[in-house]
Amino acid sequence: MATSAAARPMSKEERKVIFASSLGTVFEWYDFYLYGSLAAIIAKQFFSGLDPTSAFIFALLAFAAGFIVRPFGALVFGRLGDMIGRKYTFLVTILLMGASTFIVGILPNYASIGVAAPIILIVLRMLQGLALGGEYGGAATYVAEHAPHGKRGAYTSWIQTTATLGLFLSLLVILGTRTVMGEPAFNDWGWRIPFLVSILLLGVSVWIRMTLSESPAFQRMKAEGKTSKAPLRESFGEWKNLKIVILALVGLTAGQAVVWYTGQFYALFFLTQQLKVDAVSANLMIAVALLIATPFFVIFGTLSDKIGRKPIIMAGCLLAVLTYFPVFKMLTEAANPDLAAAQAKNKVVVIANPAECSFQFNPTGTSKFTSSCDVAKQLLAANSVSYETEAAPAGTTAVIKIGNDTIPSYAAAGLSGDDLKAKDAAFKKSVAETLAKDGYPAKADPAKTNKVMTVVLLTYLVLLVTMVYGPIAAMLVEMFPTRIRYTSMSLPYHIGNGWFGGLLPTTAFAIVAQTGNMYNGLWYPIIIAGITFVIGTLFVRETKDVDIYAND
């Protein structure tokens, strides 16, 4: 019976289920990722009370706030989905997401209402995170429960394309708006338009989802009176299920998440912040890479029905561990060859007393970094200059060494008013002139960017994403029984993607800001993906042949 089900073509109802679930989820991801794509502008609009480096890191933290609350959304909406049904639960999630996104588009900035602006922004991001925490598990469960045995990987892989398509759509809308309005107007107020457009997408999504019927697995379970009365207790209060939740997190979703966010978000931030590629070119090249690689979600999802989910996911994690450093170095050479050449020929070194060097993260804007080491490092970080650090004896004034040139820093403590401004301006001018003389570009030269090679490298990074992400929805669905499936699969997915993945840009850039080496942020995804590879290979069981009704 399973074989005949797998052999038959997709029915009209199944196509409708996949299309409606996927399209609604595309729009929801579009809403969620607008913020990430506009992080640099949002930093200036809502965190302008902070220094530039802290503002950008704090903007990324606000981005991450949406990810941090996703597991709580998984608990709230997962419980509802297992008790009252899949359809109505993810109808509520899309309404919550759409409304929160629209309000971001009309929210006054820091200059208008002060500290209330970033506070409201973070609250809206958290509401978006709660909505997304309930959305993905519902959509994946809904589609998987409509799929015939032997085709769950193929069917659910369409849901897996939605995050990338949502990002792709957000990039296109941003790019179109930016091009039509021009950069100054877009940075001033035009960035709001993509958020406001989401109200139209919300209307379409709600209308589509209203036409869906409940999943057959849930209808059957409800008719038999087997729905769970306490899905949270059954999912996490009983060890037989809790141990599978933990394995799903550590051995699958944590590694999948960091590979996903490295390939699609960190790569974009790396291009614009570290390699100084202009935003339009960076978005275009990412969009082309996404367009080329997206079909591989379905290819790897379908392949997982034949050879298994686990080997494909583990291979993606292992390739990430082995290739991230060389690929990102090649990305530097392709996207900004002048910067790569300058780094090779004229290294930048900060020579300072380690006791004077602070951890330069200032979320409140109250800390002052005044030592000569801090002043030097802050200037280099603000200009995205990669540097090394050498220890100097106590009492030594820090210096920046660029190639054969040495520039003394200064201690800001004790200086005020015109003296501080004059000292700071002279120091910045001296560093900027020396960097320029030694070949460090202020920004990437579009004429020298090898766009084809850059797109090839970005496509490779997204292909790793498709390997880890394409089969994972089917695998998570197959790990848990119907009565607690929505709850059980949603939590490890959203802890993995919300916490391990969502915190990746913030963590990586904080590591870069602290160490000075622009590649050191890659240690975070490499270590997490390595842990997942080891745990997943040793302890996670293959699920492709599991009967998802067997434990009901």
Cα 287 to Cα 7: distance, rounded to the nearest angstrom: 35
Position of tokens 């930093």?
Answer: 43
Q: What is the pLDDT of residue 241?
A: 83
Residue 502: phi, psi to the nearest 5?
-65, -30
Cα 214 to Cα 473: distance, rounded to the nearest angstrom: 19
How many other CB atoms are there within 10 angstroms of residue 134's CB atom?
Answer: 30
- Tell me the β-bridge partners of 399: 351, 408
Position of tokens 């913020």?
Answer: 35
> Which ranges constitute the DSSP H helices of 107-187?
110-113, 116-144, 152-181, 183-185
Cα 505 to Cα 260: distance, rounded to the nearest angstrom: 12
The pair of three-digit structure tokens given for residue 407, joined into one six-digit string? 């520039």
The pair of three-digit structure tokens given for residue 146, joined into one six-digit string? 């409509």
Please say whether the beta carbons of 96 and 127 come within 8 A.
yes
Cα 450 to Cα 27: distance, rounded to the nearest angstrom: 33
Q: What is the pLDDT of residue 446?
A: 93
Scored b (16 or more CB within 10 A) or e, 482-493 reads: bbbbbbbbbbbb
Position of tokens 């690929």?
Answer: 327
Position of tokens 């299309």?
Answer: 19
Q: What is the pLDDT of residue 319?
A: 98
Closest to 66 measured CA to CA, from 122, 129, 130: 129
Cα 479 to Cα 484: distance, rounded to the nearest angstrom: 11
Architecture of domain 14-337+445-539: Up-down Bundle (1.20)
- Tell me the β-bridge partners of 408: 399
Closest to 258 measured CA to CA, from 541, 499, 68: 499
Tell me the domain boundaries of the chain: 14-337+445-539, 347-437
3 state SS of 405: strand
Cα 242 to Cα 49: distance, rounded to the nearest angstrom: 44
Position of tokens 């591989």?
Answer: 296
Contacts of residue 88, defined as CB under 8 A and 6 or more positions apart, other chains included, come to none
Q: What is the pLDDT of residue 539?
A: 95
> What is the CATH code for 347-437?
3.40.30
pTM above the 0.75 mark?
Answer: yes
Cα 504 to Cα 108: distance, rounded to the nearest angstrom: 28
Q: Can you give the pLDDT of all 552 residues of the chain as single tens digits?
A: 344 444 456 667 667 777 777 776 787 677 667 877 787 788 888 877 776 767 777 777 777 777 788 888 888 887 777 777 666 777 788 888 888 888 988 999 888 888 888 888 888 888 888 887 777 777 777 788 778 888 889 888 888 888 778 877 888 888 899 889 988 899 899 999 998 988 887 888 788 777 766 666 566 666 666 666 666 777 677 788 889 899 999 999 999 999 998 998 899 889 998 899 998 899 889 889 988 999 999 999 999 999 999 999 999 999 999 999 999 999 999 999 999 999 889 999 999 988 888 775 554 444 566 789 988 988 888 777 889 889 999 888 999 999 889 999 998 777 777 888 888 899 999 999 999 999 899 889 999 999 999 999 999 999 999 999 999 989 998 998 877 877 888 888 888 887 888 788 778 877 887 788 899 999 999 999 999 999 999 999 998 888 776 555
Please say whether the beta carbons of 55 and 47 come within 8 A.
yes
Which burial class, exposed, middle or buried, applies to 398 when counting CB atoms under 10 A from its CB (0-12, 13-18, 19+)? buried
CA distances, 83 to each of 44, 69, 135, 231, 365 (Å): 44, 22, 16, 8, 46
Cα 135 to Cα 92: distance, rounded to the nearest angstrom: 9
3 state SS of 423: helix
The helix (run of H) or strand (run of E) holding residue 406 is strand 405-408
Closest to 105 measured CA to CA, from 25, 183, 200: 200
Please say whether the beta carbons of 487 and 503 come within 8 A.
no
How many other CB atoms are there within 10 angstroms of residue 503's CB atom?
Answer: 21
- Tell me the β-bridge partners of 348: 402
Residue 48: phi, psi to the nearest 5?
-70, -10
